[in-house]
Structures are given as C-alpha cells and as structure tokens.
Amino acid sequence: MNQTAVLHRKPATERPEIKHTTCYMCACRCGIRVHMRDGEVRYIDGNPNHPLNNGVICAKGASGIMKQYSPARLTKPLLRKPGSERGAGEFEEISWDDAFSLLTERLAKIRATDPKKFALFTGRDQMQALTGLFARQFGTPNYAAHGGFCSVNMAAGMIYTIGGSFWEFGGPDLDRAKLFVMIGTAEDHHSNPMKIAISKFKRSGGKFISINPVRTGYSAIADEWIPIKPGTDGALMLAIIHELIEQGLYDRDFLVRYSNAGQLVSQDADADDFGLFVEDEASDPVNPMYPQNKLWWDRFSDGPVATHAEGADPYLLGRFTLPDGRKVAPSFQLLKERVASNTPEWAEGITGIPAETIRRLAHEMGVTARDQKIELPIAWTDSWGKEHKTVTGNPVAFHAMRGLAAHSNGFQTIRALAILMSILGTIDRPGGFRHKAPFPRAIPPSAKPPNSPAAVKPNTPLGGMPLGWPANPDDLFVDDDGNPVRLDKGFSWEAPLSVHGLMHNAITNAWRGDPYPIDTLLLFMANMAWNSTMNTSEVRKMLNDKREDGEYKIPFLVVCDAFQSETTAFADLVLPDTTYLERHDVMSMLDRPISEFDGPIDSVRIPVMEPKGECKPFQEVLIELASRLKFPAFVTPEGHRKYKNYPEFIVNYETEPGSGIGFLAGWRGAGGDKPMKGEPNPRQWEMYAKNNCVFHYALPPSYRYMRNWNQGYMEWAQRMRIRRFADPILIHIYSDVLQGFRLAAQGKRAGKQPPQHLRARVEKYFDPLPFYYEPLESQAADNVEYPLNAVTQRPMAMYHSWDSQNAWLRQIHAHNYLFVNPLLARSKGIGDGDWIWVESMWGKVRCMCRYSEAVEPGTVWTWNAIGKASGAWRLDADANESQKGFLLNHLISEELPPLPDGRRLSNSDPVTGQAAWYDVRVSIRKADAGEPEQSWPQFDPLPAAPTTSRIKRAWQAYRAGRGEFK
Ligand code: SF4
C-alpha cells in the first residue's frame, strides 16, 4: 500500500445523508444504511429496523464501499476488437444504442428461426422471475440460473419430500429449539440471520452439534463437532433413522396424520402399479393432480379404509392383503425394511463416525423430540376439519446446505434428512423446521416445464416456464426418442428432476453441439471462464475454439457484469451492469423473497446513487430488449412499448391481466391499501422507500404452524395466489413420484420411456425410499491413487469472485491455501506452508499447504474463488490472488468418464443434475525443490479493459467521500 499518498480534501458541500436499501454483498439481503456525503458513500452499516439482520452487518456488507469504487468497474459497453482473439481481453467502446441495435438484430433473427439457439444463463442473481420471464417470452428453453450447480439437491430433495426447503424457503426455529444439528453448512447461506439466531440459541442454553468434515465458521462455535467423510451423510441419516425406528423414538401420531407413512403401497412385484399407492377407484380423488383417495389399513376394523377416515387409526407396520387379493404394505413398513441393515456399525465404516456416536446422536434427537415437547396455546384447524386447541412442537432443529447437496448422491441424502426430520415430528412446528412463504408448496409444485419440442416455436413464447417440477415421466422435456430439448439436457432422462437446470454443462454441450449447437450465449453475473465452472482450463479453450470455417463454436458470447472478470475477457460484447447501490431491484414473492416464519416478506433495493459512467442495470437491459423484440408481455396489442423502464415494469406487471399479483406484494391497490393482492399502485416504490424497503405481512398466529395441513392458512394462501390448490400436503416418506420414473425405466409404465443407455441408471437412482450409494466419481476413480476428498467453501468474508477484488476484504484473504490435517501432511513429508501438487484424475494444481487440525484427515479443503487469473478484476498481474491463490475447479470435471460407447454424462446427481463439486478425489505430494513458488496453472496476464480505472492504492485503504488521495 502506498503510504506516501497525500490527501487532498475537498470542503464538504452537502449535509450528510442516510439512505436505506438492501445489501447485495452476498445473497442474504440484509437491510443497510448507506451514509452519504456529496453524493459519495462514506460508510455502510446495518439497518436496525430491518427484520432480517436487525442492524447487524458483516465484513462483506460493510465493505460494499470498495465494491462501489472498485477499479475493475466496467463503465461502457465494449465490443471485442475485430481480429483479436477471445480471451485476450481486447475491446473497443461502443454506445448503448449500438449495443442494443446489434443485439436486437441478432436475437430477432434467432427468435424468428430457431429460438433455442439463444441461451441465457445467469449466476447468483436475484431476479430469476424476470430472467425466466424474458427467456419464456423469447421462446427459448435454454435458461437457468446458478441453482443447478449450487444446491439444487437441497431444494429438490426437501421440496419433493416435505414441500419446502432451507434458507429462503424455510429454516430452523432456533427461538424454541433445544437441540440444533447443522450438517454440511458453511457460513455463507443465510449468514447474518443465522449468526443472530445461533447466538440467541446458545445463550438460552440450547445444544448445537455440527456435522461437517471441516470445523470453520458456525461449526467453530458448536458444542460438539462430528467430523464426517464428504459424500457419506446419507449413510449417517439412514443409520439415525434405523436407530429411531428400532428404539421407537419416532412421532407416530405426527406420521399417521401428516405424512404418507400409513398409506398402502402395492406390493405385487409383477403388477404394473408395483410400488405405487393403491387408490380407491370408487372414491373421489378430489384433485386428480394430487389424488387423495388412498388407503390405510385400519387397526380397529382390521381392513382397508380411506385415509383420514373419522375414527380410523392405521397400522404403520405390517403387510396386508386387500379383499381383491392384492398385496400391500404401509409405506413406513417399507422404510423400516429399507433401513434394517443400515446399522450404526454399517454407517461407521462409510462415514468414519464411531457407531457409538451415531447411536448417541439418534438417542439425543429422539428423546429431545419426545420428552421436551412444546405446547403453544394456539387453536387451529387441520385440512380434514379437526380442531386442535394447541400447536405442538418437538424441539429438534436442523440446518443443512451445500455440503450435503453438492454430491452426486445428494438428492437421496437430502430425502433421508427430510425423512429424519419428519419422523421426529418437526415439520412446520415450533422448535423444529418452519416454512417461509411462498412455501409449503405441493409435492411436487404444480408448475411444469414444457414437455414437447413443439413448445419451441419461432416468434412465440415458450409453451411453459423454462423451469418447473416434473411429477412423472410425461412431464420431461424430451423428443419422441427420449432426447433432450434443452441445451443443458435438463428435464431429460439424464437428469429428470433438474429443477434448476444444469448450467455447468451449458458451455461444454454448446461447444460439442450435443444436443445441438447454439448461436448466442448470454451470461449474466456468472464467471464461467473461472470459478463458476468445472474444468476451468478446458472450458476456457472451448470458449475460444473454432469450427473448420473459422467461426467460433459458440458464435456469439455476451457477458453482462459490473466488473472486469475472467469471463468478460472472452466476450464478444460486454454490457456494464450497475452495482447494487445504483439500481432498483426486487426480492419478490414470485422468486426468492425474504419471508420469515410468521409470514411473507418481500423487499427492494432503491438506488442510493447514480450509476457510474454508462452502467445500466441488467434489468433495464432486459426490459429494453424485450420491448425492442416486441415480446407479447412487453408490448401492447398494437405493438407499442408497455413499460418505460424497470421500476415501471415492476409496478404495473401482473401475472395475468387483472390478477392483482405482481412482483411486489406490498402496498398494492390504487391507493396502496391492499396487501398481497390488488391492482397496480403507481406509488408502490415510494411506500417501500418509506418502510425500510420491506413489506411484511404477519399471518395470524393460527396460520403460522402446520401449514402443510392448516385449513385456514391453505385457504388464505389460495386466495392470495400463493398456492394453486388448498389441498393438504402430506409428507412423502415414500415417493410415488420417484417410483413412477422407475416403472418407466422398467418398461412397466405407458408413456415416455428412457433411452436404452439410461434405463438401468433411472431404475437404480429413482428409488422411492432413500438409500446410500458411493458418489459417482468415487465409483469411477482409482481411490488408491486418489485417496482423499477435496472440498471448497466460501470464506465468511467473501462471496463468490466479487469480493476477492475488494480492497478491504483482500486484507483478510489475498490468497488461499490447501488446508491439510497435520497427520496427513507429515505422513507425506509436507511441512506447513510448503508448495504442493494436488492431483485428481482430471488435472492438477500447485498451491501452498496450511496445517489445520480443523479438518478430518481424509479430507483436504480450501476457500473458493480467491484464486484469480493474472490481471483479471483489475488486480496487478503479480497480485497474490493469481500468484499464490489457486482454484480447485481445475481438478473437477463437468462430465463423468466416458461410458463404454463413448457417451459422456454430466458429473451430477442422476436425479436432479446437481453439480457434484464435492465428489472429486485427489492425492497430494510435495512440490520438487527448485520449482517456482507460484500457483499453477498460470495464464497470460489480462490487459486492463478500457473504461476500467487506474488503481488508486491509497483511497482503497480509506475513502470518506469528501476527498481523494492523488
Ligand atoms: S450477510 Fe450478506 S447481505 Fe447481510 S450484510 Fe453481510 S454481505 Fe450483506
């Protein structure tokens, strides 16, 4: 840092001013106060009146000022210089008008001929309701956001089981829990709210257990750390379920009434309905999409009865024969049989956790749930009309995220976790797991992806939202031969429940032309040439690779970002985005709001300053393009533009004309007096601005619990269009949805069939009951040569690649190490701080070793996204981030080893397409004496993009808005 810089103070000309908006230094969306003077940011702190963070701010949030004034800011649209190579980062400036004309002309041609040749993939943005709408109106199926490579297993595994999930959609009720078990979570999801909740929980005497290969962040303050081998959490969950059933420590009453545990499953192996719930054909299914005419075996009459029949009580265990001779069993019996061999001793050999610990863990969960029950004096009525005087809680709470999700066995692992939470009786109950609006949703939610190539037509919106929730094989987006329609092969037999798409395969598939080549790829906020991609070095080559005719294999690449990243260097057209302090934004009920347990909450960002240079929010870019391309939702029937800009779009857009439902739920109605639903209010933004940028609808207490089966809540949610139906949402202990796919794979179901090469795979992994299997990469790798698991996690002080360029946060981490248990390191002759090679079956990296006792010895790990390409993000070519920092991504492949016939399958969960980041197997060895003390691989330094700034070293250390170091 240049200590000799001189401060030239300008006199203050304006009074200090405080503006409120919402943080976006990570995805938590805390409320912030931005302290301004002379139009410049002086500092940022937490908004004490915000429901999410109550004034708390983290290191990232407070460092937003350094993102705002980052030298890496792009400030004008840029076009790759004619004749220059992609990746060289040579650009010339163009005007927005030229950029829009160029894009409109290109996209109009694609839309008029073959809309799927345009693909839009976005990173960790928070506007998927808008980007999804844009893709749908364009008519392309090729749209997804980062979820598929982040934690889609968590969303899908939970939602296909309990109708809700963690983080934005639900979480642990730590105000009332007595035992809190956190599994596979770093400190980057739900960051400040989780810290506040854990702090209160611990002060009130709760016990916090962390199960994680690495003890950092939240785990560091756990009362007990249980290290586990990565990718084996499913075995642990199954063993705990085994123990709870063996000990009788499950909540029978809860399971009977609120899950499908008592429903009878067809058990005639030769019958076409084998493994499906038996339906009483003579009874009304009530809702054919979610039929309710299932059967129990009643203990009193010793015969089949309709589920929830008054006075009946079903057996959960046993096997029975229906009067017509069909063999049946309650699904709980099948679960019991499934986990019969999943003993703690069995799990010990897989997870590395002693059987005694597993047994103790199960017992502690079971007795806490059973013996420390909570009764809240809140009367409510369930979906079958039964009135309850109280709400009961079993105070065991869980939280889990990417550590479970980012494995190729993550979906079934998370199904097992959701079932564990359910048999403890903790779903939407005090002290357990609580939903957040718009969840719970039906299992699966009723929105479906398109299911035929005919859904893609020139100059026509797509026949359905690009992403949805398949309920059976006929919902898959495949052609008559079972081939994928989407570029990423989402919703195909390769990954049938890929509800967030497979962004990690988009570039490889487009490059290979499998299933087809595309013309234009638009990336927003996704660093796909670096840390947001697997197989980074090869993907960079693919972006640069040309066809025989000299054209790039991906002919046109558009990148919208606020900063000069590694990916912008590959763009043909760069569109400069704004920062979060310069734009309007919504955290919408149509997308990912910030709801709390007690009711829906949505929030906004309101610009606190003008965009820098010619930066334009991506939202405005989409509105402009949609209007120029005359998408039906964006123009009048006469073809005139409907919305002047994004704020006007947000206020006036309704899901259907007159629906009263829009992006924002607060202050609707002409006068702003209607919550949740009402006609557009021209002053809606003003009202959010006056209310801390937040709208909070507090549900009456009787609607706040048991929402899967709460009649009052369901009817309210249906009126507010949060739910399509008011039916009860029974927990899927047993998944007949999965069994439907398995029957198709077995050729026992009419309708869509998997192609031959995927039949066995679908049959195996679409198991209606959770099971453990070794991650797919471990199955394929030489586990003797590569004996270690390697994982990454985000540091508390940085989020994705945005923050490792932040002048303040770089003082916390400027490069990363590989953290290795000293026992392991010493056994390899590696000293603390030594340069080492880390190798997988896919590649190798050179980096520095750091001893750490806080990692189990079979695992090595590092912080994600600190390593940078030389010169990217406007850092010096010899900055620590590129010279000492490294990316584990070079060791991870986006595809599994080739099948015997040469086909390649995604390195993903075979159910959901979740990227299997944490499956990689590695070995480590000390670098040879004399090797450069520099991370490897290295790339040619990127030149500074035009319109980025000179690095002003001194003011990065201190800037107060009143002056500037020169
Ligand atoms: S937790 Fe995330 S949203 Fe909250 S202050 Fe920190 S960076 Fe901002």
pLDDT digits over 111-152, tens only?
999 999 999 999 877 789 999 999 999 999 999 988 878 899
For residue 266, what are the β-bridge partners? 328
Q: Which atom of ligand 1 is nearest to the CA of 191?
A: 1
187 C-alpha to ligand 1 centroid (Å): 11
**Contact between residue 235 and residue 772 where contact means Cβ atoms under 8 Å apart:** yes
Nearest to 616 by CA among 562, 663, 567, 572: 562
Q: State the pLDDT at residue 966.
A: 34
Does residue 515 surpass a pLDDT of 80? yes
Strand, helix or coil for residue 225: strand
pLDDT digits over 595-621, tens only?
999 999 999 999 999 999 999 999 999
Does residue 49 surpass a pLDDT of 60? yes
With cut-offs at 50, 70 and 90, classify the pLDDT of residue 1: very low
Element (H, E) at 231: none
Does residue 39 surpass a pLDDT of 90? no
**Contact between residue 407 and residue 779 where contact means Cβ atoms under 8 Å apart:** no
Bond prior to 440 in cis (omega within 30° of 0)? yes
State the Cα–Cα distance between residues 515 and 485, nearest whole angstrom: 8
Neighbours of 691 (CB within 10 A): 16
Q: State the pLDDT at residue 858.
A: 97
**Contact between residue 105 and residue 128 where contact means Cβ atoms under 8 Å apart:** no
- The burial class, CB within 10 Å (0-12 / 13-18 / 19+), for 205 is exposed
Q: State the pLDDT at residue 800.
A: 82
Q: State the pLDDT at residue 79.
A: 98
| Residue 742: DSSP 8-state | H
Q: Which residues contact 478 (CB under 8 A, 6 or more apart)?
A: 451, 484, 485, 491, 492, 493, 752
Q: State the pLDDT at residue 803.
A: 81
Does residue 166 surpass a pLDDT of 60? yes
State the Cα–Cα distance between residues 553 and 519, nearest whole angstrom: 9
Q: State the pLDDT at residue 146.
A: 84
Q: What is the residue with the minimal CA distance to atom 2 of ligand 1?
A: 26
With cut-offs at 50, 70 and 90, classify the pLDDT of residue 155: very high
pLDDT digits over 621-670, tens only?
999 999 999 999 999 999 999 999 999 999 999 999 999 999 999 999 99
Element (H, E) at 727: none
Tokens of 550: 């000299």
**Contact between residue 392 and residue 375 where contact means Cβ atoms under 8 Å apart:** yes
**Contact between residue 46 and residue 20 where contact means Cβ atoms under 8 Å apart:** no
Best residue for ligand 1 mutational test, from 30, 126, 187, 812 (most atoms within 8 Å of Cβ): 30
Q: Which atom of ligand 1 is nearest to the CA of 799?
A: 7
pLDDT digits over 663-714, tens only?
999 999 999 999 999 999 999 999 999 999 999 999 999 999 999 999 999 9
State the Cα–Cα distance between residues 105 and 416, nearest whole angstrom: 50
194 C-alpha to ligand 1 centroid (Å): 11
Location of structure tokens 């002003």: 952
Q: What is the residue with the minimal CA distance to atom 4 of ligand 1?
A: 30
Tokens of 666: 């607060």
With cut-offs at 50, 70 and 90, classify the pLDDT of residue 382: very high
579 C-alpha to ligand 1 centroid (Å): 15
Tokens of 850: 């750091």
With cut-offs at 50, 70 and 90, classify the pLDDT of residue 926: very high
pLDDT digits over 905-922, tens only?
999 999 999 999 999 999
**Contact between residue 394 and residue 433 where contact means Cβ atoms under 8 Å apart:** no
Q: Which atom of ligand 1 is nearest to the CA of 192?
A: 1
Q: What is the DSSP string of 249-265?
A: -S-HHHHHHHBSTTSEE
**Contact between residue 74 and residue 93 where contact means Cβ atoms under 8 Å apart:** no
State the Cα–Cα distance between residues 100 and 200, nearest whole angstrom: 51
State the Cα–Cα distance between residues 846 and 924, nearest whole angstrom: 10
Does residue 963 surpass a pLDDT of 50? no
Strand, helix or coil for residue 952: coil
Q: State the pLDDT at residue 301.
A: 97
Q: Which atom of ligand 1 is nearest to the CA of 25?
A: 7
Q: State the pLDDT at residue 902.
A: 92
Does residue 534 surpass a pLDDT of 60? yes
**Contact between residue 688 and residue 666 where contact means Cβ atoms under 8 Å apart:** yes
State the Cα–Cα distance between residues 950 and 14, nearest whole angstrom: 27
Q: What angle do CA 58, 62, 66 make, to 5 degrees?
A: 135
State the Cα–Cα distance between residues 433 and 425, nearest whole angstrom: 10
Residue 931 CB-half CA count within 13 A: 14
Strand, helix or coil for residue 205: coil
Q: State the pLDDT at residue 121.
A: 94
183 C-alpha to ligand 1 centroid (Å): 22
pLDDT digits over 247-266, tens only?
999 999 999 999 999 999 99
Percent of the chain's residues with pLDDT above 90:
90
Residue 943 CB-half CA count within 13 A: 13
pTM, to two decimals: 0.96
What are the residue ranges of helices labelled H in 114-151?
A: 128-138, 147-150
With cut-offs at 50, 70 and 90, classify the pLDDT of residue 962: very low
594 C-alpha to ligand 1 centroid (Å): 13
State the Cα–Cα distance between residues 612 and 600, nearest whole angstrom: 34
- The burial class, CB within 10 Å (0-12 / 13-18 / 19+), for 657 is exposed
Nearest to 397 by CA among 360, 433, 434: 433
State the Cα–Cα distance between residues 715 and 722, nearest whole angstrom: 10
Best residue for ligand 1 mutational test, from 45, 57, 794 (most atoms within 8 Å of Cβ): 57
322 C-alpha to ligand 1 centroid (Å): 57
State the Cα–Cα distance between residues 575 and 582, nearest whole angstrom: 15
Does residue 316 surpass a pLDDT of 90? yes
The pLDDT of 739-749, averaged and rounded, is 97
55 C-alpha to ligand 1 centroid (Å): 11
State the Cα–Cα distance between residues 22 and 46, nearest whole angstrom: 9
Q: What is the DSSP string of 881-928?
A: HHHT---GGGG--SBPSPPTTS---BSB-TTT--B-GGG-EEEEEEPP
Nearest to 399 by CA among 175, 149, 190, 240: 190
Q: What angle do CA 406, 408, 413 make, to 5 degrees?
A: 80
* Cβ < 6 A, ligand 1 pocket: 23, 25-26, 28-30, 53, 57-58, 60-61, 191-192
Compute the Cα dihedral for 792, 798, 800, 806 and give only its sign. negative
Does residue 453 surpass a pLDDT of 70? yes
**Contact between residue 919 and residue 65 where contact means Cβ atoms under 8 Å apart:** no
Q: State the pLDDT at residue 947.
A: 85
The pLDDT of 545-565, averaged and rounded, is 97
Element (H, E) at 304: strand 303-306
125 C-alpha to ligand 1 centroid (Å): 15
With cut-offs at 50, 70 and 90, classify the pLDDT of residue 957: low
Element (H, E) at 403: helix 402-405
Q: Which atom of ligand 1 is nearest to the CA of 32?
A: 5
Q: State the pLDDT at residue 4.
A: 37
Q: State the pLDDT at residue 965.
A: 36
Give the chain's mean pLDDT. Answer: 94
End-to-end CA distance of the chain: 13
Best residue for ligand 1 mutational test, from 21, 22, 28 (most atoms within 8 Å of Cβ): 28
Residue 822 CB-half CA count within 13 A: 5
Q: What is the residue with the minimal CA distance to atom 5 of ligand 1?
A: 61
Q: What is the residue with the minimal CA distance to atom 8 of ligand 1?
A: 61
Location of structure tokens 């041609």: 109
Does residue 853 surpass a pLDDT of 50? yes
- The burial class, CB within 10 Å (0-12 / 13-18 / 19+), for 262 is buried
Q: State the pLDDT at residue 185.
A: 85
Q: Which atom of ligand 1 is nearest to the CA of 58?
A: 6
